[in-house]
Amino acid sequence: MKAENPILPPGIVLNVLRIMIGWHFLYEGVSKTAMENWSSYAYLMESKWLLSGFFHWIIAHPSWLTIVDILNIWGLILIGLGLFLGMFTRVASITGIGLLLLYYIANPPFIEASLPFAGSRFFLNLNLIEAGILLLILFQDRRYIWGIDRLVKQVIEHRQEKLFPKQENKHVPPEFKNSRRELIKDIASIPVLGFALFGMARKYGWLSFEEKNMVTVDATTTATVLSAKSRDMRDLKGKVPSGKIKHVEMSRIIPGGNLVAGFAHARDLIYVSNMIKNYFTDEKVIETLWLYEACGINTTIMRTDEQTIRILNKYRKRGGKIKWLAQTYPIEEDYTNVKMAIDEGAVGAFVMGGIADRLVAENRLEQLAGPVEYIRSQGLIAGTAGHAIQVPMACMNHGIEVDFFMKTFHHDRYWSAHPFENRKEYMHDIDDSSLDRNQYHDNLWCPSADEVSAFFRNSNVPWIAYKVLAAGAIDPEEGFRHAFESGADFICVGMFDFQVIPNANIVYSLLNNGFKRERQWYA
């Protein structure tokens, strides 16, 4: 009995799917060549599951990252061409499955806050779907896979039949032999590919001189990452140098936590802090922490609060190893906040500058000494911050033993700095309601840089300088140089993610090329 003819010819569905997946791979690969400084850095940085340690190691080594980027781009292009044209189809299917599984492992949809690619549903996403289809194609009878492979096979068999006419080729059904219809099937994808590539060339302006500088890339599917997230680690000149405070090794530049907490010295621009809070989501903070690590920045300063702890715990569960120097808020004899920092894994802690300013101004030095001694007793490095130079002076004069000082420090050579004749130390203006606005402005955090550098020149206590850019009023290269040349052992700087690599490069270049510094290093 003759079998019924199927609704569609054998394999037509898989051939259509193969061509579509091939075009997807090809598009992703070619589109990356149109992206300026595209890198797989952001995708690898987001890894939270299997092999995450290996992926993070790659992004921490720019030369390996470059190799991975090249392999990724050309792998996508070659796999795409192979699948689209039916050329080396089995090899393209196997390598395509491998690449898709690596994408899946790096960012599986069931891990919290994986990259939001279209089609992700719990454990299933487009990567896994395409890998499954390629697996079917891999085991499909090659007679039904249209393309260059089958065409070549038919040509070879046709020549064999001419050479050996008495030997019948039993492996190829008659309908596959020398049929024009089958030939059209095998080469049909070639003109389609030509039209598609022509359209892509028009889209990216490769055919128009006028459009070359107006390229807009919108490839955001599974084999790529949103271009806004991309950071080119190849721009990193080298890992940030480090120093030690007692047993704790810390990078010479330490990111501050104000931006993470959503605080900005924006003066009367009251909307800025809310903008920062919306920008620095938990995932953006974690992404930035990974970026710190990749640049050799191994320590960050953050507030001791529930938000910080929540984010750090998420980050650590994904293998993050950056150290936390905690800003704490003791209240008289209540060290609850300090204990929170210790319990949550801080390597060191210090009394917040505003609190220390007030305690010194009101001569309540025992309430400053208490938390410092408690922190040291728990095996952490301990210190105090201060906006006023009187804070470290009081500690030295009254025998409050600290492992480090944090002191605001920047020059006043910027246009918005408060006039010298009207300056007054921050710590003296305790009651905000009584502030004389002619005497105090929130655009100056170090009224006399010379006095501060002179004090630390005669001190052997490690010094972390903060507010070194006067809330963004000073150019980073200028502010960093001024701080290190004036004796700071470390600098604390608030940074957006797009500022991390440039700032790391400034510190690397500065500390490796020599500069004038009278004070010896005390860390």
Q: Looking at residue 265, which CATH number applies to its domain?
A: 3.20.20.100
Cβ atoms of 490 and 429 closer than 8 Å: no
Cβ atoms of 40 and 72 closer than 8 Å: yes
The closest alpha carbon to 130, from 21, 233, 29, belongs to 21
Whether 96 is in a domain gets the answer: yes
Whether 183 is in a domain gets the answer: no
> What's the total number of domains in the chain?
2
| Domain encompassing residue 497 | 249-512
Quote the crossing angle between the two packed helices 62-85 and 12-34, to the nearest 10°: 140
Residues 409 and 450 occupy one common structural domain? yes
The closest alpha carbon to 48, from 2, 113, 142, belongs to 113
Q: Number of helices (H) and strands (E), helices first, in the chain?
A: 20, 10
Residues 222 and 268 occupy one common structural domain? no
3-state DSSP assignment of residue 414: coil
Residues 204 and 277 occupy one common structural domain? no
Residues 142 and 264 occupy one common structural domain? no
Residues 205 and 293 occupy one common structural domain? no
Residues 219 and 276 occupy one common structural domain? no
Residues 420 and 290 occupy one common structural domain? yes
The β-bridge relationship of strands 248-251 and 348-351 is unpaired
Residues 133 and 277 occupy one common structural domain? no
* Tokens 């319990």, located at residue: 343
Whether 166 is in a domain gets the answer: no
Cβ-proximal residues to 122 (8 Å cutoff; 6+ apart), any chain: 109, 110
Whether 238 is in a domain gets the answer: no
| 3-state SS track over 48-59 | CCCCHHHHHHHH
Compute the distance between CA of residue 523 and CA of residue 518 in angstroms, rounded to an integer.
Answer: 15
* Tokens 């595209």, located at residue: 38
Q: What is the pLDDT of residue 491?
A: 97
Length of the chain as a residue count:
523
Residue 303 backbone dihedrals phi, psi, to 5 degrees: -65, 155
Burial 289-312 (b: 16+ CB within 10 A, else e): bbbbbbbbbbbbbbbbbebbbebb
3-state DSSP assignment of residue 465: strand
Residue by residue, pLDDT tens for the chain (523 residues) are 455 555 555 567 888 888 889 989 998 888 888 776 778 877 887 777 788 778 888 877 778 888 999 999 999 999 999 898 888 989 999 999 999 999 888 888 777 555 555 455 667 788 888 999 899 888 877 777 777 777 777 767 667 676 766 555 555 454 444 565 555 555 555 555 555 555 555 555 544 443 443 333 333 334 333 333 445 677 888 889 999 999 999 999 999 988 777 777 776 777 888 888 888 888 888 888 988 988 999 999 999 999 999 999 988 887 788 999 999 999 988 999 999 999 999 999 999 999 999 999 999 999 999 999 999 999 999 999 999 999 999 999 999 999 999 999 999 888 887 777 666 665 444 455 555 656 566 678 888 899 999 999 999 999 999 999 988 889 999 999 999 999 999 999 999 989 999 999 999 999 998 778 889 999 8
Compute the distance between CA of residue 77 and CA of residue 365 in angstroms, rounded to an integer.
Answer: 68
Residue 194 backbone dihedrals phi, psi, to 5 degrees: -60, -45
Compute the distance between CA of residue 366 and CA of residue 32 in angstroms, rounded to an integer.
Answer: 61
DSSP category for residue 124: B
Residue 183 backbone dihedrals phi, psi, to 5 degrees: -65, -45
Residues 199 and 292 occupy one common structural domain? no
- To 5 degrees, how large is the angle CA 380–CA 316–CA 242? 55
Cβ atoms of 243 and 464 closer than 8 Å: no
Compute the distance between CA of residue 466 and CA of residue 448 in angstroms, rounded to an integer.
Answer: 14
Whether 101 is in a domain gets the answer: yes
| 3-state SS track over 350-373 | EECHHHHHHHHHCCCCHHHHHHHH
Residues 114 and 253 occupy one common structural domain? no
Residue 110 backbone dihedrals phi, psi, to 5 degrees: -85, -5
Q: What is the pLDDT of residue 331?
A: 92
Q: What is the pLDDT of residue 374?
A: 96
CA distances from 452 to 328, 447, 455, 484 (A): 23, 9, 5, 13
Start-to-end Cα distance in the chain:
90
Both tokens assigned to 220: 């955001």
Residues 25 and 61 occupy one common structural domain? yes
Whether 3 is in a domain gets the answer: no
The sign one gets for the Cα dihedral 358, 362, 364, 369 is: positive
Q: What is the pLDDT of residue 464?
A: 97
Cβ atoms of 330 and 371 closer than 8 Å: yes
3-state DSSP assignment of residue 179: coil
CB atoms within 10 A of CB 178: 12
Q: Where are the beta strands (DSSP E) in 355-460?
A: 381-386, 404-408
H or E segment to which residue 328 belongs: strand 323-328
Whether 395 is in a domain gets the answer: yes
Whether 5 is in a domain gets the answer: no
Both tokens assigned to 182: 């089958």
3-state DSSP assignment of residue 219: coil
Residues 260 and 126 occupy one common structural domain? no
Residue 157 backbone dihedrals phi, psi, to 5 degrees: -65, -35
Cβ atoms of 464 and 248 closer than 8 Å: no
3-state DSSP assignment of residue 183: helix
Both tokens assigned to 204: 């990216």
Output the DSSP codes for 491-523: EEE---HHHHHHHHHHHHHHHHS-----SPP--
